[in-house]
Amino acid sequence: MALPPLLHLQDVSLTLGGRPLLDKSNLAVARGERVCLVGRNGSGKSTLLKIAAGVIQPDSGSVFVQPGAKLRYLRQEPDLSGFATASDYVQSCIDEPENTWRAEALLDALDLDGSKKTAHLSGGETRRCAIAGILAAAPDVLLLDEPTNHLDMPTIEWLEKELLSLNCAMVIISHDRRMLSTLSRAVVWLDRGITRRLEQGFERFEEWREEVLEQEERDAHKLDRQIAREEDWMRYGVTARRKRNVRRVGELAALRQARRDAVRATGTVTLVAQSAGTSSKLVAVAEHVNKAWGDRTIVKDLNLRILRGDRLAIVGANGAGKTTLLRLLIGQDCPDSGHIALGPSLAMVSLDQQRKTLNPDQTLADTLTGGGGDMVQIGDEKRHVIGYMKDFLFRPEQARTPVSALSGGERGRLMLACALARPSNLLVLDEPTNDLDLETLDLLQDMLSSYDGTVLLVSHDRDFLDRVATSVLATESAGTWIEYAGGYSDMLVQKKGGISEEIKTGIPVISVAQPATAAKTPAKKLSYKDQFALDNLPKEMAKLESKAQSLRGKLEDTGLYAKDPKAYSKFTKDLEEVEQALALAEERWLELEMKREELANTTK
């Protein structure tokens, strides 16, 4: 026998900005049920959760919470203002004085200092404090909106185990597929204001969604045929019995409206990165790199080679130094010792997790155009801002919407729109998955898979890492980073197996610096020959790159092989030789540049 619901939203409707957001939506959850709420960014998931929590009121419909049931809501962006310390906030969430011990226990489990001022908490610490508060309350109904945002992997795994141990009713919104698959026992899909429910876990959702959409297509096809019959009657049917004619005209109008509603496109995000041409084969080389902040070691004796086409993911606990390491690898920070050399011809585009580059007072259109009219520069061409907005699921009427009014997911899509408009051959992504819906994540994964440049990535999304990363750079102890081949799951297997570093990385660490035994007496500067080569290699590489681009342009002629097979073969062979010469020149340039830096540091 099914348990009665502790929370029941029935026929809830809400219109925002003249647009129906929720249309007789339903949501019910009983004790022990774990329901995940899924849908596209902007579909109204967070709004539905706010209605369930009593934060906002619907235009119509009913919201029922079982009398005496304790409900707790984790906002997407927790607000701890009004509380002096982290401990004060968590203690305030506990109703029973005898259970105040839970506050300190949870703060300790989440590695939080209870005496720390809430105003000084980072984004991740604020999230952990808010989680400690809702868990300390021991609720009967738990509403979670993106609980994994800004959490590191150890904390996400701890939270999964904690939630699995609870017997409360639970509704979860999350982009973390692994968490949804682990926790959910039912799925509510919010699509175009309407809710549909699947009484199975998230693993079955995507297959079920395709079945629903296919059925909609079949229904739309039947409706098309019915419209065709009515139109045929309108053209050739008898004109007598005026009242009946008017009724049939009205029925045809209703059918056409039903058809419009049935095929009302939800749209798809169009993610295409603008290419800036081929980068050098060696993107970055790190040799014996060390970095510390005060007494704390961030990076210790790091040796790493990043090649063109790599998708390197950097993982670790919050505070381990992932962002610092990323900044070192792209030359934005300098190491305390050791050498990092970046290859030539790099065109970098970065996406920061704090989204600091977004001006909250600027409109969406001005953010995309730079405030310069109605056109967006996309690589070498210009597009109207409204058309480009539609590629990222923004409606035309949102053009004048300030960034501050956008949801977290919409701000994430806006950052992607800004980043992908610029030509690049190196993408640097710091937590790109935060707040993105599952379908946008799928498209982002596809784009990164087909991207012909190099990707450096910081993320806590385990499923995303498994789908995107070719290798994972993980922190093992204070400042020690080890590279593992494959994605996150591959890293766990390799760690468990205790295999050697060379097998783990799949790529032996090769030093491009001169051997220490090359000379008994250390030189103070480069030889004349080496200095001459270092000065002239960039010009040589530029000529080779220009020649390679010219040959690629000739080979892009789809009819060349049919018209002149010999010319096609010659151009192909020439391109291979030029690319090989370019790779050797790049290797030599990096070798000399690192040697120059080493000698300069030695003479200081």
- Residue-level pLDDT at 75: 92
Evaluate if residue 17 carries a pLDDT over 70: no
Among 263-277, 424-438, 456-470, the minimum mean pLDDT is found in 263-277
Q: How far apart are CA 597 and CA 525, in angstroms?
A: 10
Average pLDDT over residues 352-380: 77
**pLDDT band (50, 70, 90) for residue 232:** low
Q: Residue 542's pLDDT is what?
A: 82
3-state secondary structure of 527: coil
Other CB atoms within a 10 A radius of the CB of residue 69 amount to 15
The stretch 514-536 carries a mean pLDDT of 60
Confidence (pLDDT) at 186: 95
Distance CA 19, CA 6 (A): 30
The whole-number pLDDT of residue 556 equals 78
* Least confident segment among 84-98, 111-125, 431-445, 463-477: 431-445
pLDDT at 572: 83
Greater pLDDT, 545 or 158: 158
Q: What percent of the chain has pLDDT over 90?
A: 28
Lowest mean pLDDT segment, chosen from 142-146, 352-356, 508-512, 575-579? 508-512
Given pLDDT bands bounded at 50, 70 and 90, which one contains residue 519?
very low
Reduced to 3 states (helix: H, G, I; strand: E, B; else coil), residue 374 is: coil
Task: Map out the domains of the chain with their CATH numbers.
Answer: 5-207 (3.40.50.300), 282-505 (3.40.50.300), 518-602 (1.10.287.380)
pLDDT for 240 beyond 70: no
pTM of the model: 0.66
Q: State whether residue 291 is helix, strand or coil.
A: strand
Q: Are 273 and 453 in contact (CB under 8 A)?
A: yes
Q: Is residue 6 predicted with pLDDT exceeding 80?
A: yes
| Cβ proximity of 474 and 316 under 8 Å | yes
Residue 587 buriedness (CB in 10 A; 0-12 / 13-18 / 19+): middle
pLDDT in tens, 274-305: 655 666 788 888 999 999 988 888 899 999 99
* Residue 353, pLDDT above cutoff 50: yes
Is pLDDT above 80 for 355? no
| pLDDT at 420 exceeding the cut of 70 | yes
pLDDT > 70 fraction of the chain, expressed in percent and rounded: 83
Phi-psi region of 594 (alpha: psi -120 to 50; beta: other; left: phi over 0): alpha
Which residues, in sequence order, are bridge partners of residue 384?
Answer: 375
The pLDDT value given to residue 534: 79
Q: Which one has a higher pLDDT value, 598 or 9?
A: 9
Distance CA 291, CA 289 (A): 7
Tell me the average pLDDT across 452-478.
87
Residue 264: pLDDT band by 50, 70, 90 thresholds?
Answer: very low
Helix (H) or strand (E) holding 553: helix 528-555
- Asked if 274 and 452 touch (Cβ cutoff 8 Å), the reply is no
pLDDT tens-digit map of 116-164: 999 888 888 899 999 999 999 999 999 999 999 888 888 999 999 999 9
Task: Say whether 80 sits in a helix, a strand or coil.
Answer: coil
The first and second tokens of residue 208, run together, are 């079920």
Does the pLDDT of residue 239 top 70, yes or no? no
CA-based Rg of the chain, rounded to a whole angstrom? 29
The overall average pLDDT reported for the chain is: 81
- pLDDT confidence bin for 352, thresholds 50/70/90: low
pLDDT of residue 538: 83
434 pLDDT tier (thresholds 50, 70, 90): confident
Within 10 angstroms of residue 241's Cβ, the number of other Cβ atoms is: 10
What is the predicted pLDDT for the residue at 522? 52
Reported confidence tier of residue 514, pLDDT bands at 50, 70, 90? very low
Bridge-based pairing state of the strands 480-485 and 471-477: antiparallel
Cα 76-80-84 angle, rounded to 5 deg: 165
What pLDDT score was predicted for residue 253? 57
pLDDT tens for residues 492-507? 888 765 433 333 333 3
The whole-number average pLDDT for the span 471-487 is 87
CB 169 within 8 A of CB 29: yes
**pLDDT per residue over 80-105, tens digit each?**
988 999 999 999 999 888 888 889 99
